[in-house]
Structure 1
Amino acid sequence: MRVTRFVGVIAALLLALPAAAQMRGHGGPVRALAITGDGRLAVSGGFDQAAIVWGLDTGAALSVLRFHDGAVNAVAALPDGRFASGSEDGRIALWRLGQAEPERVLEGHAGPVAGLVVSPDGAALASAAWDGTARIWPLEGGPARILEGHKGNVNAVAFLPDGGLVTAGADASVRIWTGDGQPVTSATLPSPLSALAVTADGEIAAAGADATVRFLGRDGSERGQVELGPAPVIALAPSPDGTRIAAASAGGTVAMIARADRKVLFNLVGPGLPVWSVAWRPDGSELVTGGGDRLVRRWNASSGEPIGPLAMPRPADALAAFHGERGAEVFRACVACHTLTPDEPPRAGPTLAGIFGRRIAAVPGYRYSEALRGMDIVWTPETVARLFEVGPARYTPGTRMPEQTINSAEDRDALMRFLAKATQPHATGPN
């Protein structure tokens, strides 16, 4: 009953709020997108470890879902109204609209989850992961079927119309499986693969590092190709009517490919940042993209024109007040994951506001790893400097923080002086 009331509230919001074409809410690159069957809601996954449910016609963030201990690399909209999110932490969470915690968690992958897709009959969820496997999870419960054969990361997964499965990986292979996970055939392409799409008639599109989209038959034979270059293709999505393929690239563009003649109709050109994810609204009228600029954008699928302004004002540069300071320049490598003040949008790492004098793993609401929660460290200029001298993996084993060191003692000292000013209340710049 509470879920029904929540859906009613969302419907009212969708009708009452002003339209917005560009959606800002993630604290890092938008790695994944999916749209519900009615076309009204989208779910996005970000580098900031969050999934966000959006009202597409309003641009409103209706729910921010926080559970994962790593970037959310994959999402899916389930036919029954639920959402799935897959993460760098190897887990898949199933969410019910209106609930703050996952309804169910699927565990088994030993590496980051890179792709999720729902079966044509809605009964199963398939995942691709960097542990070298794909898995088929019955949504009603029961053990997953494990698909093994790739040599390295499995980066993408898609269902065939008859319930069979297709996977693509860093080993440059496309593998075709039966619905119960038995291998059928495989094809080796010229470069590592990161994206897959399957059309309603069963044609397979695969792409990756060499910026070429290749079309394959069910037997793995190549039917044609489209060279896009020079940037790698990192996401593919077929139009609902199957006539076009949208190919998103690390160069910031999305190529609209006509399947019939294997030609590019036009390009959607953004701000020059990687486009990590792309999805179609079910009526084929719009594309929705997620990029390295943290935005979810809407585009006219017929013309390639952006819906609303292409660019949005960027947040104020938190380091502008410290222009010329060496410590601020050293900190620029950290801004993708950490904020300096508590009122900025959340990012992948905890805020550094008030860090000196704070115990490790003590920011309220942030999901720390169990390893960090058990450590006896208080952050001081000395302990933070030591972290960057020896590296996070040695100083705080079990951390999810990317491995990085600052070899120069002068740079470490400059960073500590900067943090002492910038992370305290009312920090406004050098005095």
Structure 2
Amino acid sequence: MRLATALLTASLLLPLRPAQAQLAGHGGPVRAIAVSSDGKTVLSGSFDTAAIRWSLATESAEQVLRFHSGAVNAAAFLGDGRMATAGADGQIAIWTAGGLQPDQVLEGHTGPIVGLVVSPDTSKLASASWDHTVRISSLSDGGTRVLQGHSQSVNGVAFAPDGKSLVSVGYDLTVRIWPLAGGSPEIVVMPAPLNAVAISPDGEIVTGAADGKLRMMTADGKENGEVMAGARPIVALAISQDGALLATGAIDGTVAIVDRKARSVMRTLAGLGAPVWSVAFLPDGATLLTGGADGKIRRWNALTGAAIGSNVLGTPADPLAAYVGDHGAEMFRACVACHTLSENEVQRAGPTLAGLFGRKIASLPGYRFTDALKAMDIVWTPETVSKLFEIGPNAYTPGTKMPEQRIGSAEDRRALTDFLARATSK
């Protein structure tokens, strides 16, 4: 079994222990985080097939981007203010802020895309894929160059600071340094499968591996040190803008902050519980964002380990504050991360439930439902919603992206449907 498949399975089995969540809205693990050059905006991608553009100032979602038919595994801000998302469907979508659909879709990969990176001059976009290739796409004319040679999944890609070379890493244990002017790549074989790569401003290459180690090498591929970040596989890696700090995310939820020059772990951020799939530094070099298997993005001071910001989860106030003491509202609380009760709230990863009862499944305009749901004849009523939670979404609505969950008590299900009848009526 491929490492990535095993890690995804593990993410669904480990218990979740939320702590200091700042941005909540995804209905599945946060697989990708990108930060705008001014540090004010974040773009996240999730296994729930959505990407979300966030304001850090308000800790709220500004736009939900829906296009991909599978998990959104990679995200990037482009030099002209546009954004790019890519995922399990093998497509790259180019977006303008506020646009309902992509401006452009780049195709060509035949497997999931798991990494995106923009060249230093912002003219090119490189993508890493499980189809064993790297593709370099021109952002001006759409031209594409395909880099072939990896024998297994390519899990990470990074441009050198001078833009003259590109580094890719994969499950085949190799680091490949591709000269962009042409010629064969420098190939370095490593002791363990590689899940991530980053390059410092001075050109040092850093890889994150399945054995929990960071390994450093010079720009031409010579070994230059290593750091044991943790005991479990590294699945995410970021480097601060000044190159001083590294951050790793691991399958056991460990986030390690590493002093790159000293080759030592400065501290470990604890309390995340479930796998951390994505990490990203803000331009200040001290603020770190982490994306977890619980669908939440957390903000930390990497220098002190302290959580930053309020405990507000994606909206300026608790959306259930008006229903204090309502048993049905408490049953619904787990759904707040993905669904709104009103059309006036900022849309989250799942469709709004406003006007739910009497609506045919997968019929809400503007939301990207799976083809399996569109083919069903279910109409949402108190009885069908109760059945959904009695036997579980996977059994009642096969093909759903909704996380599996059941409510065993008939009394609790009745409380939930009574609440939805009151709270979602238009």
* TM-score when normalising by structure 1: 0.74
**In percent, how many aligned pairs have the same letter?**
46
**Counterpart of 2:192?**
191
Please tell me the residue identity of whatever aligns with 1:271: L
1:229 alignment counterpart: 230
CA RMSD of aligned residues (A): 4.2
C-alpha distance in structure 2 between counterparts of 1:105 and 1:242, whole Å: 33
Give the letter aligned to residue 75 of structure 1.
A
Secondary structure of the structure 2 residue equivalent to 1:367: coil
SS at match of 1:32: strand
Q: Distance in 2 between matches of 1:342 and 1:127?
A: 38
CA gap of 1:104–1:190, structure 2 versus 1, over 3 A, is: same
Structure-1 separation of matches of 2:126 and 2:134: 7
- Of 42-51 and 414-423, more deviation after overlay is shown by 414-423
Superposed, 1:162-177 pairs within 5 Å as 162-163=162-163, 164-177=165-178
Aligned-partner Cα distance in 2 for 1:151–1:341: 48
Partner amino acid, structure 1, of 2:139:
L
Q: Unpaired runs of 5+ in structure 1?
A: 1-19, 323-327, 329-333, 405-410
Q: Provide the rounded CA distance (Å) in 2 between the counterparts of 1:35 and 1:340.
A: 26
Q: Which letter maps to 1:212? A: K
Question: In 2, are the aligned partners of 1:145 and 1:180 still within 8 Å (CA)?
Answer: no
Q: CA deviation at 1:421?
A: 8.8
Distance 1:239 1:352 in 2: 40
Residue identity matched to 2:212: A
- The higher relative CO (CA closer than 8 Å, separation ≥ 6) is in 2
Q: Distance in 2 between matches of 1:114 and 1:22?
A: 25
Paired residues of 1:274 and 1:291 also in contact (CA < 8 A): yes
Distance in 1 (CA, whole Å) between partners of 2:340 and 2:21 is 29
Report deviation, 1:123: 0.3
Partner of 1:158: 158
Does the 8 Å contact 2:124/2:139 carry over to 1?
yes
Residue-by-residue CA offset, 1:246-276 (whole Å, 9 max, x unaligned)? 1122222321111222111112224322222
Alpha-carbon distance, 1:60 to partner:
2.8
**Cα distance in structure 1, aligned partners of 2:152 and 2:65:** 30
Matches within 5 A, 1:82-93: 82-93=82-93
- 1:5 corresponds to: none
Question: What is the identity, as a one-letter code, of the residue corresponding to 1:136?
Answer: I
Residue 162 (structure 1) shift: 2.7
Q: Offset at 1:145?
A: 0.9
- Distance in structure 1 (CA, Å) of the matches to 2:156 and 2:99: 28
CA distance in 2, matches of 1:426, 1:288: 34
1:85 is displaced (CA, Å) by: 0.8
CA deviation after TM superposition for structure 1 residue 140, in Å: 0.6
Secondary structure at 2:195's aligned position in 1? strand
Cα drift, residue 201 of structure 1:
1.4
Counterpart code for 2:73: N
CA distance in 2, matches of 1:119, 1:400: 37
- Once the two structures are superposed, the pairs formed by residues 99-138 of structure 1 within 5 Å of their partners are 99-138=99-138
Secondary structure in structure 2 of the residue aligned to 1:282 = coil
* Structure 2 match to 1:31: 31
Deviations 1:314-343 (A, max 9, x none): 999xxx979xxxxx9xxxxx9899879899
Amino acid at match of 1:126: A
Aligned to 1:325: none
Other-structure match for 1:217: 218
Give, in angstroms, the shift of residue 75 of structure 1. 0.6
Say if 1:153 and 1:171, in contact at 8 Å, map to a contact too: yes
User: After alignment, is 191-200 or 117-126 more displaced?
Assistant: 191-200
The within-5 A match list for 1:257-296 is 257-296=258-297
Query: Structure 1 403/272 Cα, relative in aligned 2: closer, same or farther at 3 Å?
Result: closer
Q: State how many pairs are aligned.
A: 389
Q: Taking structure 1 as reference, are residues 40 and 152 closer, same or farther at Cα in structure 2, changes over 3 Å only?
A: same
Instruction: Report the secondary structure of 1:242's partner residue.
Output: coil
Amino acid at match of 1:251: D
